[in-house]
Structures are given as C-alpha cells and as structure tokens.
Amino acid sequence: MSDLEQFRAETRAWLEANCPEEMRQPLKSQAEHCWGGRKWQFQSEAQKVWMERMADKGWTAPQWPKEYGGGGLSQEEAEVLAEEMKRINARTPVSNFGFWMLGPALLKFGSEELKREHLPPICRGEIRWCQGYSEPNAGSDLASLQTRAEDKGDHFVVNGQKIWTSYADQADWIFCLVRTDPQATKHNGISFVLFDMESKGVSTRPIELISGESPFCETFFDDVKVDKHQVVGELNRGWDVAKYLLTHERNNIGGEPPGFLKGRALGPLAAEYVGTEHGKLADAGLRADIADLEIDHMAFQALVGKIRAEAEAGQGVGAQSAVLKYYGTELNKRRYELMMDALGSEGLEWDSERTQGGLFAREWLRSKGNSIEGGTSEVMLGIVSKRLLGLPDA
Amino acid sequence: MSDLEQFRAETRAWLEANCPEEMRQPLKSQAEHCWGGRKWQFQSEAQKVWMERMADKGWTAPQWPKEYGGGGLSQEEAEVLAEEMKRINARTPVSNFGFWMLGPALLKFGSEELKREHLPPICRGEIRWCQGYSEPNAGSDLASLQTRAEDKGDHFVVNGQKIWTSYADQADWIFCLVRTDPQATKHNGISFVLFDMESKGVSTRPIELISGESPFCETFFDDVKVDKHQVVGELNRGWDVAKYLLTHERNNIGGEPPGFLKGRALGPLAAEYVGTEHGKLADAGLRADIADLEIDHMAFQALVGKIRAEAEAGQGVGAQSAVLKYYGTELNKRRYELMMDALGSEGLEWDSERTQGGLFAREWLRSKGNSIEGGTSEVMLGIVSKRLLGLPDA
Amino acid sequence: MKLNDEQQMLQDSVARLMADKGPVSHLRQLRDEHHDKGYDEPLWQAMVEAGLTGILVPEEHGGIGFGLVGAGLVAREIGRNLSVTPFLSTAVLGAAALSAGGSDEQKAKWLPAIAEGTAIIALAVDDGAKHRPERLQARVEGGTLSGEKRLVLDGHVADLLLVAAGEGDQAALYLVDPKADGVTVERTVMADSRNAARIRFDGVPAEAMADGAAALAAALRAGRAVLAAELSGLALEAFERTLGYLKERKQFGRLIGTFQALQHRAAQLSGEVAMSEALAMQALDACDRGADDADQQVLAAKAKAARVALLAGQEAVQMHGGIGMTDEFDIGFFLKRARAGGETLGDANYCADRFAALRGY
Amino acid sequence: MKLNDEQQMLQDSVARLMADKGPVSHLRQLRDEHHDKGYDEPLWQAMVEAGLTGILVPEEHGGIGFGLVGAGLVAREIGRNLSVTPFLSTAVLGAAALSAGGSDEQKAKWLPAIAEGTAIIALAVDDGAKHRPERLQARVEGGTLSGEKRLVLDGHVADLLLVAAGEGDQAALYLVDPKADGVTVERTVMADSRNAARIRFDGVPAEAMADGAAALAAALRAGRAVLAAELSGLALEAFERTLGYLKERKQFGRLIGTFQALQHRAAQLSGEVAMSEALAMQALDACDRGADDADQQVLAAKAKAARVALLAGQEAVQMHGGIGMTDEFDIGFFLKRARAGGETLGDANYCADRFAALRGY
C-alpha cells in the first residue's frame, strides 16, 4: 500500500468514527454553515463537536503548516481528505474569511510573529474575520480608497468608512486596506492592517440586499487605534497583498455553485416541475438552455483544471484569474435564472414554509451580486483585454 | 367608390394587362434583378417590356414628380401600387442606386437643372448609378476621406481612390464624395459631385467577396475632369447630402430579408430538411431559435412601423435610423445562420446545380457584410448611445 | 401603429395618475407593513374614479369600453411605477372573461361591479408551478369543482373566482364563490411583493358560463397582451433609471457612461426596450381590430416583453453595481417584478413554443 | 488535463509541420486550380513520413498508437492552418472504425495501409442533409446495400467506403468497394473548399465487420472529439489573427483595439476559445482513459467547439470590417470551415440534444 493509500484508509476510518451523522447531510441553505468566532452560537452539539475534532487534527486548514494549527498535508493528501469528506457528504467543519483570505495572505506576506498570533485561533474556529476593502464611491476602483491611518509613533489612528464588509457585524477581527501615505497616489501608500472589531471607535450597520439577507455591512472607523505591528507585508505596500488576495479569491471560483444548487443537477429538478414528454423535459426551450449551460459549465471546469495544472507547474495564474472570475460568476447567474425558469411560480414564493422562506428567489437574487463583488465583470473583462491580450489603452 | 378605390381598380387592371407572366415569378436569386443602364443586357424580352411599360407610366419611381419622369403618386397611392404588385408577385421593373440614393438626394438638395438632367434617365432605366463614399484606410470613418477635387476654374480635376463602389464596373455615372477644400478638417470641405464613369482617367477593379460574388469595386480617379455644375447642394457642404442619404438608406431597412429568404418563412423550409416529430420540427433547438428570430422580427417590424408613423407625423427619424440599421442587419445575419442550420450539408454545397451554384452558402456569407457596409454595427451603436441616449464622450 | 388623440390623452393622464398616486415607494410601504390586502387601496379608488377599472367593460355595463390598447396604456404606466392594484386580475382578466363568455345575468351582475370597483375578481388557471392551460388537472363533475390552483393573483381578497377546469374533454372557466364551503385559500406573497394565492377546491359548487371556453381564451389573450405592455413599461423605466445613473456615477475618475462597453450595451438595451414596447402595442391593437394573427402577435409580444424586462432588470442591477444589490435602492424591485410578470400566464419559452405551433412548425 | 512531455513534443513538431507544409495558402491554391483530388498531396505525404497517418493505428499494425489526445493535437494544428488532408476521414474515422469493429483480416488489410498512407478511407453516414445516425434509411439486405449518402468526406478519392446502414433493427458499418457496380459517386465541393461526395448505392455488395455497431459508435465518437479539437484550433487562429488586426488597424485616428466595446468582445471571445480548447482536450483524454462519461464529454466538446468556432469566425469577419469580406484576405476561410466542420458528424443542436438525453433529461 502506498503512503497515499494508507493515508486514505486512515482518513476514511477517522472520518467514519468522528464525523457526527448530522454533519453528513448537505446544507439545506447557507444559513446552516458554521462560521465560528467569539460570537458564534452553534446550531447543534454536533456542529460544535465536529468543528473541534477537525480542529484538533488541524484539518480545518489541511494544508497550513502544523506549527500554526494546520494539518500540514501535501496537495495530494489534501485532495484525498476532500474526496473522503465528499464521499460521506461531510460538511465543512468551519470556514470564514480567516481561512479563505487572511490565512493565505499571512502565509505569504506575514511576519513570523503575526502568523503565530493569528493563524492558530483561525484554525480553532475561535476568531471570525471580515474584509475591509471597498469604500462608498470607490466601487471597483479600489485604488482610490480614502480611509486613512495616521502615524502616531507606536500606533496608527484609523478614520474612514468601508462598505461591503462581509458579516462585519458578526466578525471579531478585520483585515483592512488603509491609506498610510496621503501624499502617494493611487496604488501606492496603502497598507494592509489588522485590528479587533471590538476596538473603540468601530461601528457597523448591516446592509439589506435585494434578497432580503444582510451578509454585508457598512463599517465606520472613528479614531480607531491600531498597533503598528499589525501591518501585513511592508508599510505602504498593502496593494501587493490585496492584489494577491483578489487573484487568490478569483482563482478559487471553481464553478461549483454556492447555495441550493450546490451538488444539484438542473435536469432532474426541472423534470419535477415542468414534467416530461416523450422521455424529454416537456419544455424544449428550457431543455436546450440547460444543456447549453451544462456544456458551458463542463468547458469552464476543463479550463479551470487546465489553468490550475499550469499553475502547479509553475506557470502561475495571474490575470487568468480574471477569466475564471468572469465566467464562473456569469455561469452561476445563468444557472440561477434557469432554476427559476424551472420552478415557475413555486420559485417565486417569498415567505412560504414550503420554500424555506423563499430560498429559491432569494438565492436567485443573491447570485446577481456575484458579478459585482470581488471586481465587476466589466473590470474582469478589462483586465483580460489589457493584461492577457495586450490590447492598448485609449 | 373613393378615389383610392378607383385608383386600386385601375392599377389592378393595368397590371393584369401589362405585367408579363414571366415577370410575375419571385426572383430565384439576386442575379435576376433588372439593374438597367447603358450596358444592361436584358435577360429576356419580358424584362425589357416590363421595364419600359412601367417607365412609361412613371411607376419605376412612383412618388417622384411627373415632370422628372416619376409617377407623381401620393404615399397612399404608392402603397396601393405596391400592394397590387405584390398581389401578383410582380417584380420590381428596374432599380439601382439612382433610384435608392441619388434620386432622393437630388430631390432634396439638387438644383432644378440637375434634376431635369438626371432624374428622367434614371426613371427610364437608361442610366445606372454607383456610389463613391468609402476609401481604403477610411472604412467607417468617412470624414477622413482624401480623394481631392482641384478647382480649375470651370471644372474640377479629381484624383484619388474609392473602395466598396457597388457595381462600379457596370455603372454609367457615379455620385461621389470628394474633398474640395483641403484646408478644412474632417466633415467640412467635402463636396458631393456627379460624373460619368466613362470620363477619361476613371478605372475600376472588381473586389471578389468571400461569397465569390463581386458586387463591389475599387475605383481609381486619375485627373478626372468634372463639370462644376455637377455639384449637388452647396460646395464644401457635401457632408449634409451624404448624411441625409446614409440616414435615408438605413431608414429603408425594413426587415424584409434580401435574397433567397425574401418572402420565405424559415419554419416550413426547416421542416423540409430536418423533418418533424410529434407535429413539431424534429430539431427542438432549431425550432426555438426560429421562433425567437420570428418574434424578434415581428418586434422589429412593429418598431419600424412606429418610427415611420412618427416620421410621417413630422417627428423625423434622425438617429433612429441607426437603431433600424443595427437591428435590421443583425436580424438578417441571424436569419441566414438559421437557414444554414436548417439546410445542413445541402446548404454547404458550393457549386452544385442542385443549389444553383451554392446559392445558400453564398447568400449566408454575403449577409455578413450587412453589418459592415453603410456604417458598421459598432458605428450604429455609437450613434445610438451618443445621439439618442445622450451618453457623454470619454 | 401610432396612438390616436384619444389614446394619447389617456396615456398622458394615466402617466400623471400613476406617478402621483402609485409610485414605487407605495410598493415598498405595502411590503414593509405586510399590508393585509396587499394592494394600494387609495390608488385603486383613484382608478375607479378615473373610470380605469371599467376600461374593458362595455358602456352598457357602466364601463368606458376603451379596448385593449387602452388597457395596455394603463398597464404600461403600472409597469413604470410598479403600482400595486388588482387592475390585471379584475379589470383585465375578469372583465375580458365575463365579456367574452358570461351569460347575460353574469354580465349584468359582475361587469358593473368591476367598473364601479365594488368587486375584485381573481382568475385561477395554473394547477402546477408552470402555466399549462392545455393540460388542466382541476375537474368539474356534476357541477362541483375539485382541484388546486396556484398563482391566483389577488386570490385572497377576491369576491369572485374564475376557475379554469376540465369537464369531459372541454376546458372552461367556472364562477366560484370564494366563501363557499370546500374552498381553502392560502395567501402567498411573491418575490415581487405582490399577492397571489394557492386555493384548494374540494367539491365546491361551480357555476358554468355561457361560453366558458371562450371566456378562458379571451382572458388569457387579454392578460398576456396587457402583461406585455406592463413588462415593456417596466423595462423602459428600469432602462431610463440606469441611463440616468450612467450619466451621474463616476468610477476611475470618469463618468461610467463614458465607457464604450457600457454605451454599446445601453444602446442595445434601448433598442430591445423600444421593440418590446412597439410589439406590445401592435399586439393589443391587433386584438382590438380582430386581426387574424392576433394570437400570434400576443404570444410574440408576451415572450419578447418577458425576455426584455428580465434583461433590463439584470442589466440595471449590474450597471448600478453594489448599490443595485441593496434593498434600500429601488432598482431591484424592477428585476423582481420582471421575473414574476414574465412567469404569469406563461413564460417566454411557453409563449414561444405556442407561437411556433401557431406558425405551423 | 495537462499535456505530458511526449504529447507536448508531438504538438510542437506538428505545429511546425503544418505551418511549413500546410498553410492556408495551400487551401486557396487547391481551390483556385480546382484540384482533382482536392487535398494537399505533398502535405499528406509528409504526414505519412512523420507517422501521423498511423496515430490511431495500433503498433502491431504499423501505427504509433498515440491515442485520441494525439490525434486531437494534430487536428488542432490542422484547424489553425486550415490544412487540407484526408486525416479526419482516413486516419481518424477509418482507423477508429476498423480498430474498434474490424475482423482480424480487415484490420490486417486496412490498418497498415492507413498507417503507410496507401489507402484513403471514407465514412458514409448521413442519408439526408442533417446528421441523424439514429434514423438511418440506407439498408443492407442479403449482403447488398442500397441507399444514398451525403457529406462523405474524401468520398470521391476513397479506396474503401465505410457505410452506415440498417440491417433488421441494427445499424452498423459495412465495407464497400467504391469501384463496385452500382456505386455512383458525385463529388461535391463544399463552402470550405473541401471534398465531400454524394454516393448512391444500388444493390452493392457490402462486407460486414466483426462488430459493425461498435465500429460506427467508435468512429462517430473519435470523429466528433477530433473535430472539436480542429474547430478549437481554428477558433484560436481566427481569434489571434483578429487580435493582431485590432492592434494594427486605425479608425477615427485610433487603433481599433483601444475601443472598449471591442476589447470586451475580444476578452469574451478569448475565454470562449480557451474553454473550447480545454474541453476538447479533456474529452479526447476521457476517451483514451475510457472514462464513464466520455460520450457526454465528446458531445459537449463538439457542441461547444462548433458554437465557438462559428462565433470566432463571425467576430473575425466583423472586426476586420470590409477587408474581412474580401476573398483576397484569408480570414473568411475560417468562417467557412467553422460552419462546415460544425455541421460534420452532428451540429451543435444535435450534440446538445444527445448530451441532454445522456444526462437523463
């Protein structure tokens, strides 16, 4: 038995023994996701046990180094773990912006001190992070941000306003882009800083979306004191960190839809609502649309696979991430439109128990934000045309 | 009986008596169209007789004034004539750029002398006109044209090169944009002049298209002498005439496709080639595409009707013509794509007798030029966004 | 087609009325207060006073008999303002059905009530999640109705239900008293914050019409044509609000309306909206004129309007960016209504499929 | 998937070969001189020498057995250069069919001939204008074949015909000698200036295969997968030529590549082309690996590649403007081949329909 086969066998046995039955059901909705953090109220004992057991193994962050609380797994081992978890439908034990975003940034740019301070609590699900990038009136134009951090010797004083801070009202710490050199222009003079959301002068206001949910906040900073050692990477070079993370984020769009449609095929769903005729979906137009979407999705996944394989071979992803972000989010929007086509009036119910309080319509509406957040589709096309295709500026 | 009813009865009787049987068949291809002109070889005696009889009535140009050889009909009478001709499938007796373009320009901008000189021979089918607008390297950017006309006292001397001159090798006269004031910039300093293609110094070279046809030429002017009285409108204000004609041309795109598909519905054509199943086209994707196209076509025609009605009520067409040009040509391209989808390999045959020498493929390819000639689709969208929507320049 | 003077006057006055008394803010308010009737009562009263509730009711029954073009003009302004009234359910579907297939008594009883605004009427057609009137499951046997209906617009406040059901081979509309025993009404609030209901019928007395099949056909045709006009108005408004935003919002130091990629998309959308509007009015006119191809035109208009309204809603949210995703901003309401209105009485695929069938392929 | 070193080397050497010996100018020349064989004989000879004709022929029959990924890499370069050879007909369709379903004798006779370039083989499937192999009209009865076939690639120069026909309930491939009595071949030159033929069979002797049904399935699968690669290569080349034009052509005093509307369209097209390519290679690899969903992947790849190649051809002509419409300029050849290749062995609608059926809806 190879090492990897042995690892698989051990992993399978461990998961069988340790993953509670309740945690082996697909999420019914995003609301059942475990975010962790100081304010987190576990929805069940099983959710708590599962998070803690996985954290003890370091498997909440399988590939992070063991000394920072991770699992220290190789790429191959991590894939085996993912496969084995998927095999039994095991839920993600805990996840938040600390795992997706801050962790990778610290591992690449953070000092040893910052890694030791922040990574272990993330792995244990103790600290929930949020992201402070966008500002009102800046939108996709991140480089024009105006939140400023004034140098007061041993600390900064931060003043300004952020918008689209995900779950800032429920997060414990924030990673935040602030202007540390007001003289510098555009991308220069920006730093990437970390601070506690319970600091004096921090306040948040949830933003209600058209879907009725409030996953984002407006966040206000009024003379917030930030320790100077909480700067990730070099002072005034926060743009490098932010750009790395944006690329990282876009690169992680793998084509698996979030929400209700995760793991669900549209064909059988549509058959349930529109019926069949001569062995085919009764709505021929919808059938053709679903086939086209699935073909495009298959093509997208093939491209994702190719780009990732090249990235592993050291060719890097770079501006390709903009291609993935663009198509991944546009496909997802199409997918939710077709789901709504299939569900008819049932999909439109907004508050019935039958539909879990309008889950379908809300997720359809929420998907419209995919091509706005994290860089709009228009910005992505601009990056592709300039940086991948080399088309000239006007 | 109202005057109009009486006119209809008389017209019907006259057409029955005078339209030869051969001229009551739809054109099998564009090649059967009667262009007229000095070099024209009638394809049949019937074609000649039909043109002459209609010219005698003035009905080759039904709404032009009688004193210039037209029919002097009102809008309503002209519509009756068109309906009655359509009723018996009567072919257009003769048509060329003299009817579509130069005539309307002369009627609006021309001096009495020019009207009397040029309109009657057009009506009688004696002179075939071509258009000299585009130049190499100018493309859609007409205002940058460089063909120049030098003032030599009683005449101009024209030097330069035109491209996309329709059937210049078969035309008798040309209407042509030339730069008469080399100091003026862009749209200024351009004049609209007329001259005989048999003038010394004029030469033409047909351009073969991807469809294999050569409806356009490159045309060269080498010290061509042009009478000064052959300027339409004011000297150096030829742009006004050209703009009027471009709008007129775009406005005339009424949604009826040219060529093979004229008067033919896609549904029955497709049924012939792809068959039916359960009473519907066997190819459900194609069926949905055809339905969408026909719906869009119906919507387009409704808009054409509305814009024309408003124009008649004096609200003018203006930049709306760009909307019509854009959608009319894009619809036509879609229509020919669907025709090719329907015809399968039969549509692809390039030189068989069965397909009249590849008529289908050639018309499909020819349709690709629709959104390039007469102002590209991109130029049209620019006109719409700037002039109709008032969006600002960069 | 082009509006005549009378129609133009109607359009102008309705535009003022809806903008004054039925703006988007009313929809928001009705939603936020979970209004028990779920529609804008003062606006409805104003429409009664203006005679608009009787727009399809013949003059002898107290209406103004303005025809479907008139109803479409009202719907267009409803679309622009997202006004919430029982206009579609009562003044269009109810009036069209009763006029086309009601007995003299039924007409005499209900048509004046529609015109006077004293009755709300709801049409119940869909047995399932999708609109499929050719395959109805609800049945009438021996004068009693059994079945279940969905997406019954204004069903929970209706004084009369018009229910589509099969009897033998024949599908027809029946009059049902919503207060009768065996009727169970569940109000469902839809994504567009409007009313609909799910209604169960367990052996409920059903009153036949003089020609229930004609009534059903007339209601579907009128409803689709008028919805096409509403959706076109909605698309126009969503587009115009977006165009305004393109002219005022700055990004990267420039007005976003100067970006050519957005300019071209805006130009394309404006054309789509114009075509949708023109086709809707032409289809309404074809119905009024009794044109041979009126059914084709109505199906085409509904399919086109549903697609264009959805596109306009999508483009509007995308071009507004982050703010377009917030509930605080009104633009999202247009997207929601576009989908709900598009689904009502047959979505674009359904209408295109029926259109193709009528065209013989 | 990612190419291994051997595959990468193959790709590089084929790219050089095709660019040197099979450029677009050869296609033009063959067309202009109405070449009697209709393909590029020197190039075909060079491919024989490079072993490419035997790319799907097992080593024991004198081939290199490189698998479908290898064949796809060749086809990709054929697509980029619009090279004209019997590669698809003979080295792909012929080799795949005979390998999968030929008897030992048939394999021993024909597979070495394919590898050595001494035989040209043509597959005859379509009875009508559209590819519908599930509903074949040609019949074999008592060992003789009757029927009519169209779009038989290289049919007028073939040494062997593989003909799809029904016998009883079963559709299968049969070997037919093109010189036999009762075979009537009409060469048809297609819009892409390539060969195809219409062939009539009137009671012609038809030789059964060991497993003619498997041979038919294998040929269709291999042909569609390889066509997907060819069309992806074609789309890539059309796109890259257009991208180059955007960087050099001026209009209104600016490089047209600075116009944002064109930039966004170019960016979208580049993504479509990349997805088409990636899916084609993945599908070829799935066939080689014998993956469960290989058929789904192949149908998806062919549908996607057909759509993308046509889009690339359309956008290429449009963005080139007037010059793109001229025969003198090469870009139009890509549009023509995109449609012809897209039609061959099932167009995008057909493939998507079959894909949906395999996915169970």
Structurally, what CATH architecture does the domain formed by B254-388 represent?
Up-down Bundle (1.20)
State pLDDT tens for residues D161-220.
Answer: 999 999 888 899 999 999 999 999 999 999 999 989 999 999 999 999 999 999 999 999
Q: Give the Cα separation of B380 and B365 in Å (integer).
A: 21
Q: Cα(C260)–Cα(C267) distance, rounded to whole angstroms?
A: 10
State residue C8's pLDDT score: 94
Predicted confidence band of residue D329 (pLDDT cuts 50, 70, 90): very high
Those of residues 275-314 in B touching chain A at CB distance below 8 A are 278, 280, 284-285, 287-288
Residues of chain A contacting D255 with CB distance shorter than 8 Å: 392
Closest CA to A178 of A156, A197, A198: A156
Name the phi and psi angles at B108, rounded to 5: -90, -40
Distances (CA, A) of D263 to A98, A384, B138, D113: 36, 9, 21, 49
Domain identity same for D184 and D95: no
- Mind spelling out the 3-state secondary structure of chain A? CCHHHHHHHHHHHHHHHHCCHHHHCCCCCHHHCCCCCCCCCCCCHHHHHHHHHHHHHCCCCCCCCHHHCCCCCCHHHHHHHHHHHHHCCCCCCCCCHHHHHHHHHHHHHCCHHHHHHHHHHHHCCCCCEEEECCCCCCCCCHHHCCCEEEECCCEEEEEEEEEEEECCCCCCEEEEEEECCCCCCCCCCEEEEEEECCCCCEEEEEECECCCCCCEEEEEEEEEEEEHHHEECCCCEHHHHHHHHHHHHHHCCCCCCCHHHCCCCHHHHHHHHHCEECCEECCHHHHHHHHHHHHHHHHHHHHHHHHHHHHHHHHCCCCHHHHHHHHHHHHHHHHHHHHHHHHHHHHHECCCHHHCCCHHHHHHHHHHHHHCCCCCHHHHHHHHHHHHCCCCCC
By Cβ distance, the residue of C274, C281, C359 closest to B294 is C359
Q: What residues in D contact A294, CB-CB < 8 Å?
A: 300, 355, 359
Whether B285 sits inside 8 A of D151 (CB atoms) is: no
Distance from CA of D342 to the nearest CA of A (A): 16
C-alpha distances (whole Å) from B237 to each of A99, B160, D54 are 68, 19, 69
- The whole-number pLDDT of residue D176 equals 98
Token pair listed for C155: 């069903």
Q: Provide the shortest C-alpha distance from residue A288 to chain D (in Å).
A: 7
D98 and D129 both lie in a single domain: no
Instruction: State the smallest CA–CA distance between residue B323 and chain C in angstroms.
Output: 6
Q: pLDDT grade, residue A252 (50/70/90)?
A: low
Helix axes B320-348, B238-251, angle to 10 degrees: 50
Partner residue opposite B273 with nearest CB, options D130, D335, D349: D130
Check pLDDT > 70 for residue A254: no
Inform me whether the pLDDT recorded for A168 exceeds 80. Answer: yes
**pLDDT at site A316:** 59
A308–chain D nearest CA distance, Å: 9
The answer to whether D219 and D93 have CB atoms below 8 angstroms apart is yes
Output phi, psi for A368, to 5 deg. -65, -25
Distance from CA of C252 to the nearest CA of D (A): 15
Q: Residue D296: what pLDDT?
A: 98
Q: For residue C160, what are the CA distances in angstroms to A288, A344, C90, C218?
A: 40, 25, 10, 18
Q: Are D258 and A292 inside 8 Å of each other by CB?
A: no
The answer to whether the beta carbons of residues D238 and D200 sit under 8 Å apart is no
Alpha-carbon distance of A39 to A169, in angstroms, equals: 10
Distances (CA, A) of B159 to A391, B147, B162, B181, B201: 36, 6, 10, 14, 9
pLDDT band at A315 (very low <50, low <70, confident <90, very high): low
Chain C interface, best mutation among B304, B317, B326, B385, by max C CB count within 10 A: B385
Chain D CB contacts of A319 under 8 Å are none
Residues C250, C96 contacting (CB under 8 angstroms) = no
Domain count of the fold of chain D = 3
When the pLDDT of each residue in chain D is averaged and rounded to a whole number, the result is: 97
Residues of D in contact with B350 (CB under 8 A): 188-191, 193
Predicted pLDDT of residue A105: 94
Rg of chain C on CA atoms, in Å: 20
**Do residue D229 and residue D349 come from a single domain?**
yes
User: Is C271 touching B (CB cutoff 8 A)?
Assistant: yes
Q: Does the distance separating the beta carbons of C327 and A212 come in below 8 Å?
A: yes
Q: What contacts B55, CB < 8 A, 6 or more positions away?
A: B69, B93, B94, B123, B124, B125
pLDDT band for position A251 (cuts 50, 70, 90): low
Output the six-digit token pair for A359.
């889950």
Confidence band of D234 (pLDDT split at 50, 70, 90):
very high
Interchain contact, D281 vs A302, CB within 8 Å: yes
Do residues C252 and C347 share a domain?
A: yes
- The ipTM (two decimal places) reads 0.94
Contacts of A389 in chain D (CB under 8 A): 243, 263, 266-267, 270
Any CB–CB contact under 8 A between C134 and chain B? no
> Do D161 and D227 reside in the same domain of the chain?
no
Cβ of A394 under 8 Å from any chain B Cβ?
yes
C318 and A283 within 8 Å at the Cβ level: the answer is no
Q: How far apart are CA B119 and CA C7, in angstroms?
A: 42
List of chains touching D (3+ CB pairs within 8 A) = A, B, C
Nearest to A288 among B278, B280, B284 (CB): B284
Nearest CA in chain D to B354: D188
Which of C116, C147, C182 is a domain's end point? C116
Q: Same structural domain for residues C245 and C351?
A: yes
Is the Cβ of D129 closer than 8 Å to some Cβ of chain B?
Answer: yes
Q: Say if the Cβ atoms of A302 and D360 lie within 8 Å.
A: no
Total Cβ atoms within 10 A of residue B236: 15
Instruction: With beta carbons under 8 A apart, name residues in chain A contacting D310.
Output: none
Nearest to B359 by CA among B351, B367, B369: B351
pLDDT for residue A366 is more than 70: yes
Q: What pLDDT was estimated at residue B315?
A: 59
How do strand B173-179 and strand B190-196 relate by DSSP bridges?
A: antiparallel
Confidence at residue A92, expressed as pLDDT on a 0 to 100 scale: 94
Q: Which residues of C touch D (CB under 8 A)?
A: 259-261, 263-264
Beta bridge partners of B209: D326
Residue of B nearest to D254 (CA): B141
Gap from C260 CA to chain B (nearest CA, Å)? 8
In chain B (394 residues long), the average pLDDT of successive 10-residue segments reads: 90 97 85 92 96 97 96 93 93 93 94 96 96 82 86 94 92 95 84 97 96 93 96 93 82 68 90 95 96 98 91 72 93 97 97 93 95 92 96 88
What are the backbone angles phi and psi of residue A100, rounded to the nearest 5°? Answer: -70, -35
Is beta strand A129-132 parallel, antiparallel or unpaired with respect to D160-167?
unpaired
**Residue B249 a catalytic site member:** yes
Name which of C132, C154, C290, C142 is nearest C220 in CA terms: C132
Question: What backbone torsions phi and psi does residue C65 show, to the nearest 5 degrees?
Answer: 50, 50
Residues C106 and C158 in one domain: no
Fold observed for domain A3-95: Butyryl-Coa Dehydrogenase, subunit A; domain 1 (1.10.540)
Looking at the structure, do residues C188 and C241 belong to the same domain, yes or no? no
Mean pLDDT value of segment C331-360: 98
Q: Are strands A173-179 and A129-132 parallel, antiparallel or unpaired?
A: parallel
CB contact, 8 Å: D253 with chain B?
A: yes
Q: What is the pLDDT of residue A314?
A: 66
Same structural domain, C39 and C81: yes
> What are the residues whose beta carbons fall under 8 Å from the beta carbon of A197, sequence distance 6 or more?
A130, A168, A171, A172, A173, A174, A204
Tell me if A378 and C259 make a contact (CB, 8 A cut-off): yes
Q: Does the distance separating the beta carbons of A368 and C150 come in below 8 Å?
A: no
pLDDT at D318: 98
Q: Any idea what the CATH number is for the domain that residue C281 is in?
A: 1.20.140.10
In single-letter form, the type of residue at position D186 comes to E
Among candidates A287, A309, A389 on the partner chain, residue whose Cβ is nearest the Cβ of D2:
A309
Parallel/antiparallel/unpaired status of strands B216-227 and B155-166: antiparallel
Task: Tell me the pLDDT tens digit for each residue of D100-157.
Answer: 999 999 999 999 999 999 999 999 999 999 999 999 999 999 999 999 999 999 999 9
Q: How distant is the Cα of A384 from the closest Cα of chain D, in angstroms?
A: 6
Say yes or no: C287 and C354 in one domain: yes
**Whole-number Å distance between alpha carbons of D131 and D223:** 13
* Pick from A276-285, C51-60, D1-10, D266-275: least confident: D1-10
Specify the CATH architecture of the domain A129-237.
Beta Barrel (2.40)
Q: Which amino acid is at B70?
A: G
Per-residue model confidence (pLDDT) at position D167 = 87
Range of the domain at C168: 121-210
Q: Residues B77, B135, B218, B249: which is the catalytic one?
A: B249
Considering only the beta carbons, identify the residue of B280, B285, B394 that sits closest to A288. Answer: B285
For B289, the closest chain A residue by CA position comes to: A285
Which one from A249, A256, A277, A337 is the annotated catalytic residue? A249
Which sequence spans correspond to the domains of chain B? 3-95, 129-237, 254-388
3-state class (DSSP) for residue C298: helix
Q: A223: how many CB neighbours lie within 10 A of its CB?
A: 11
Question: Searching chain B, which residue's CA lies closest to the CA of residue C271?
Answer: B323
Q: Phi, psi (5° rounding) for residue A280? A: -120, 160
pLDDT-derived band of residue C108, with 50, 70 and 90 as boundaries? very high
Q: How far is A45 from chain C (nearest CA, A)?
A: 35
* Contacting residues of C for A284, CB less than 8 Å apart: 349, 353
pTM of whole model > 0.80? yes
pLDDT band at C52 (very low <50, low <70, confident <90, very high): very high
D282 interface with A at CB cutoff 8 Å: yes
Q: Which of A349, A361, A372 sits opposite C322 (nearest CB)?
A: A372
3-state secondary structure of D154: coil
**Mean pLDDT computed over C235-251:** 96
Nearest CA in chain C to A286: C349
Tokens of B102: 């130069």
Kindly state whether residues C30 and C77 are assigned to the same domain.
Answer: yes
Specify the CATH number for the domain of residue C52: 1.10.540.10
pLDDT at B260: 82
> Are D129 and D61 part of one and the same domain?
no
Q: C275 contacts in B (CB within 8 Å)?
A: 296, 299-300, 302-303, 327
Phi, psi (deg, nearest 5) at residue B346: -65, -35
Within 8 A of B278 by CB-CB distance, chain A residues are 278
- Counting every residue written for chain B, the total comes to 394
Whether A200 has its CB under 8 Å from any CB of chain B: the answer is: no
Q: Are the C-beta atoms of residues D315 and D242 closer than 8 Å to each other?
A: yes
Average pLDDT estimate for C217-242: 98
pLDDT band at C3 (very low <50, low <70, confident <90, very high): confident
User: What whole-number distance in Å separates Cα of residue C191 and Cα of residue A298?
Assistant: 31
Contact B287 A287 (CB under 8 A): no
Summarised one tens digit per residue, pLDDT across range A123-138 is 999 999 999 988 987 7
SS3 B18: helix
List the single residue in B278, B287, B394 with the smallest CB-CB distance to A278: B278
Domain boundary among the residues D100, D116, D132 is at D116
Instruction: Tell me whether residues C271 and B326 touch, CB distance under 8 A.
Output: yes
Answer whether D72 touches A (CB < 8 Å).
no
